[in-house]
Structure 1
Amino acid sequence: MVRPRVDAGGISGLGTVLSGAYIGVDAGHSRETETHFTGLETPSAVRRDDDGARYVLHGDSLGSVDIGSPVYYRRVQVGRVSGVMLDKNGTGVSLDVFVDRQYQQYVGTNTRWWQASGLDLRLDANGLTLNTQSLAAVMLGGIAFQTPPGESIGTAEPDGAAFPLAQDETSAMRHADGPTAPVVMKFTQSLRGLTVGAPVDFRGIQLGEVTRIGVEFDPKTREFTLPVALNLYPERLGRRYLESVQHSDANAGKALLLKLVASGLRGQLRTGNLLTNQLYIALDMFPKAPPARVDLNVQPIELPTVPNTLEELQVQIADIAKKLDQVPFEQLGHNLNEALQNADRLLRQLDTQLTPQARDTLASAEKTFSAANAVLQQDSPMQADMHEALTQLTQTLRSLNALADYLEQHPESLVWGKAKSGQ
């Protein structure tokens, strides 16, 4: 039925405003004659003479996509949505998309499809992320497809091939992660800021995501714990890890997990964005962490955790504050005041009693030094007497020196005496 219509494909049927609605016909490919037909409420988005290929996309929800919504490849419109339907089991939706013949070569086994509807605005532990296609996709919705960077398109897919439909480009471009390993971690501190879908990080590499957040009460300890369910992707640990596990027996992975936990593998809540206070879970090695036991017979496996560094700092500050609160500051202040008063009295006593005595002692010492200075001056009597005594001592030494020379020449004079002149 052709009537005025505004949809994702644009505005059509304006001529029927004056002429009235009419029935449109599009010829089919069958050669058999038919006289009974079922009319469509909305015109088909693909006509008989349109050249291209059809593909089927399976997703969780339709979003804002509708029949006639554009299909983009690298932000260039290459096709349109030709049909939408709800899956029979009600768990998802299926979309028929049509890609023009000249762009069909870009659809292969490695092609990823996602909803490009509206604004893809995300605020999480990774910060603020905004992705969009064109203005038409923002307003009317659309589908986009592309091959992940670094990968080839792969083998061309035939008409009618099916693909999964992701909610956004980030999810679509994510590498295949293989089987998941569900685990659970239990925390005691507040989980405010942690949301479902928050990343699980190992030294900058995202190994998984949060799938569920709950609360449990332990009647034995009468305490609450906050279990967080996670999906980990072991294949993200790298090629060598996979090779070591694949070439070992079935218990190799469990043995490796026990070894890592014994070496300090723990989960910890951390702040991913200071602006939004979003939290994420970090897996890391804590060699000084208390020993922990892992029960491999319980599913999902519970991994041990350690408190957040900020939480530990807050506890330490609280302990310090509690200890400071026990210090008798009032008594210490009273004792300090008494000590200062005693010191003041002692200084005053020194000033009144010892200072005069010290002044007298200094005056006596000054007199002694003055007398010594007077004695040692060059024009003093003592200096003259000492000079005369030194002169006489010098003469005496000269006489002794002459006597010694004479005795050395006339030793007999010690017996006979000094010889007279002429003998």
Structure 2
Amino acid sequence: MKSQATDGQQPTPGRANVTTRRWTVSLVWIVPIIAVLVGLSLVVHNWLQEGPTITITFKTGQGLTANKTQVKYRNVVIGQVTDVQLSADQKNVTATVKLAKTADTFTHQDSVFWVVRPRIGAGGISGIDTLLSGDFIGADAGQSKVRAKSFTGLENPPPITYGEPGKRFTLHSQDLGSLDIGSPVYLRKIPVGQVVSYALDAEGKGVNIDVFVNAPNDVYVTENTRFWNVSGVDVNVGANGFAVKTESLSALLLGGIAFRAPEYSPNDTPASEDKTFELFADQQSALAPPDGKAQYLALRFDQALRGLRVGAPVEFLGVEVGKVVAINLDFDEKQRSFPVNVGVVIYPQRLGKAHEKLLKALNHDPEDEAASARLMGSFVDRGLRAQARSGNLLTGQLYISLDFYPKAEKVAFDPAARPVRIPTIPGSLQQLQEQLQAMVERINKLPLESVANNLNGNLVELRKGLAQFNSKTLPSVQNTLQDVSKTLQSANSTLAEDSPQREQLTQTLDDLGRMSRSLRELSDYLSRHPESLLRGRPKDAPAQNLTLPVTE
């Protein structure tokens, strides 16, 4: 059974022997594989070395050429323009720039770019080298940590670059004047900085001017430093004649700013970055001592004030203490006239030691407005008046003078009025006009017609008298002169040197001289011996003392 069962099973098939062949690379593929590997390595290398791509928007494409215009920093190439196209709104030009890997810092958000081309500005002539090499894009890396891909190009190069040592300050002025970007900043006539930007202030009533002062001179800008405009020529006319001042030839042509700390500010500390200063019009006003508290006064003139301008000086006894701040025409309903209201501001502290003595003598507090008004009222009672005077006969400019006139008419003073009202008197020109008018009126009252008639009659009589003199008197005078001439000729001939009359006259004069001497000697003797008139000559008297000289 067992053998049958075994015999009944089918035999298991055997496994065939399979022989495999090894895969080998043919030498034909070695070269292409190496080429692919080299290409991949180059691609990877270029990708690793490739810098960022940015776009810069300019207002014009002048000087920009694709695959030619370079981007430079400190005259080193850091990129190239790859494409130049119009913007979507067709108002600007967009330049695509491929930067080098090492120029990655120029993708900071505050980086700036501009086209370098020949320019003439306040700082001089720049970009001359582009006449030969062609225009290129200048760049300056920013300091922001934020990256950007798009930038707006500048129309003009920035006056300073990031990282330049120094400080930036802001000056506030009423107007820009002749200043411009690049105008120099002077310290004792040495350029130490420049104007970097300017813009209107928030209210549009002034100009904010940003200046940069290079290190190490920035430490001389202190908390009390004063800035003033040195553009043009400063001409002063004084008792010593004309005085012409200018900071430099560059400031004369291009404008400039100067600064210095006043002499009365010891222990001053350097100013902080971005501090704001006031820009004065000239050095005199900039370095003047502090004005102190201002006091406003109201003046009312019943005369025309042509030539008076806002800013005109206000003088007290010849010392400038303020300026005119307002001039307005008013209408007086009672008088049916048009007076002129003038507002002035004065600074009593400008009086110097006189103001200090006044405060000390009167124990006056300048902060007390009521006391200040009463003090001003006492001055008005003593004759304080305001007057518009001529400051320049050529230009006709007027100024306000505060002076004492003891003979001025008394006026009522209101100490409660604000601002304080100061009475006025007619100006010097108006007084002169009134005097001339009075003189003309007096001349008109004279009987000029009768005087003219009498004068005509006198002239007729004078003419008749002259005619009679010419016809009768003049011929007789001529005859008399002829007789006198003959007499003089006869006297000349008589008194000639060789004439006998002259010899006799000479001898007579000699005799008279000797007689005069004898009489003088006799008189001297009689004055010494008056008794000789009674007694006669003494017996022992010398004869030479008594006898007169014998005449020849």
TM-score by length of 1: 0.70
Distance 1:177 1:305, change over 3 A: same
Structure 1 residue 175 displacement after superposition: 2.8
**CA distance in structure 1 between the aligned counterparts of 2:124 and 2:448, rounded to whole angstroms:** 80
**CA distance in structure 2 between the aligned counterparts of 1:165 and 1:28, rounded to whole angstroms:** 30
**CA distance in structure 2 between the aligned counterparts of 1:229 and 1:166, rounded to whole angstroms:** 22
Question: Equivalent residue for 2:419?
Answer: 300
Aligned partners of 2:166 and 2:218 also within 8 Å: yes
Question: Equivalent residue for 2:473?
Answer: none
Is 1:233 aligned to 2:347, yes or no? yes
Write out aligned runs for 1:103-252 (5 A).
103-120=217-234, 130-152=244-266, 154-237=268-351, 238-242=355-359, 244-246=363-365, 250-252=369-371
Structure 1 residue 335 displacement after superposition: 9.4
Distance 1:153 1:104, change over 3 A: farther
Q: Which runs of 5+ in 2 are unaligned?
A: 1-113, 462-552
Determine which of 171, 178, 181 is the counterpart of 1:64: 178
Secondary structure in structure 1 of the residue aligned to 2:140: coil
**CA distance in structure 2 between the aligned counterparts of 1:329 and 1:68, rounded to whole angstroms:** 73
Distance 1:12 1:288, change over 3 A: same
**CA distance in structure 1 between the aligned counterparts of 2:150 and 2:357, rounded to whole angstroms:** 65
Structure 1 residue 161 displacement after superposition: 1.9
CA deviation digits over 1:107-131, x for unaligned, max 9? 112211122223346899xx97754
The one-letter code matched in structure 2 to 1:93 is V
Identity %: 43
Distance 1:19 1:139, change over 3 A: same
Alignment RMSD = 3.2
Structure 1 residue 298 displacement after superposition: 3.7
The one-letter code matched in structure 1 to 2:274 is G
Secondary structure in structure 1 of the residue aligned to 2:335: coil
**CA distance in structure 2 between the aligned counterparts of 1:260 and 1:10, rounded to whole angstroms:** 58
Structure 1 residue 193 displacement after superposition: 2.8
The one-letter code matched in structure 2 to 1:42 is N
The one-letter code matched in structure 2 to 1:97 is V
Aligned partners of 2:373 and 2:420 also within 8 Å: no
How many residue pairs are counted as aligned between the two chains? 337
Secondary structure in structure 2 of the residue aligned to 1:273: coil
Secondary structure in structure 1 of the residue aligned to 2:186: strand
Write out aligned runs for 1:278-317 (5 A).
278-309=397-428, 311-317=430-436
Structure 1 residue 149 displacement after superposition: 4.4
Aligned partners of 2:390 and 2:398 also within 8 Å: yes
CA deviation digits over 1:333-380, x for unaligned, max 9? 889999xx9xxxxxxxxxxxxxxxxxxxxxxxxxxxxxxxxxxxxxxx
**CA distance in structure 2 between the aligned counterparts of 1:330 and 1:67, rounded to whole angstroms:** 75
TM-score by length of 2: 0.55
Secondary structure in structure 2 of the residue aligned to 1:24: strand
Structure 1 residue 75 displacement after superposition: 1.4
Determine which of 76, 80, 98 is the counterpart of 2:212: 98
**CA distance in structure 1 between the aligned counterparts of 2:367 and 2:302, rounded to whole angstroms:** 37
Structure 1 residue 312 displacement after superposition: 3.2
The higher radius of gyration belongs to 2
Aligned partners of 1:67 and 1:81 also within 8 Å: yes
**CA distance in structure 2 between the aligned counterparts of 1:167 and 1:287, rounded to whole angstroms:** 38
More moved, 35-44 vs 258-267: 35-44
Aligned partners of 1:108 and 1:153 also within 8 Å: no
Question: Equivalent residue for 2:513?
Answer: none
The one-letter code matched in structure 1 to 2:269 is T
**CA distance in structure 1 between the aligned counterparts of 2:142 and 2:291, rounded to whole angstroms:** 44
Structure 1 residue 320 displacement after superposition: 4.4
**CA distance in structure 2 between the aligned counterparts of 1:332 and 1:84, rounded to whole angstroms:** 75
CA deviation digits over 1:206-250, x for unaligned, max 9? 111112323223232122322222111233242234553328855
Structure 1 residue 99 displacement after superposition: 1.0
Write out aligned runs for 1:248-259 (5 A).
250-259=369-378
Q: Which runs of 5+ in 1 are unaligned?
A: 342-423
Aligned partners of 1:110 and 1:152 also within 8 Å: no
The one-letter code matched in structure 2 to 1:235 is Q
Question: Equivalent residue for 2:159?
Answer: 45
Distance 1:219 1:247, change over 3 A: closer
**CA distance in structure 2 between the aligned counterparts of 1:153 and 1:62, rounded to whole angstroms:** 32
Distance 1:306 1:5, change over 3 A: same
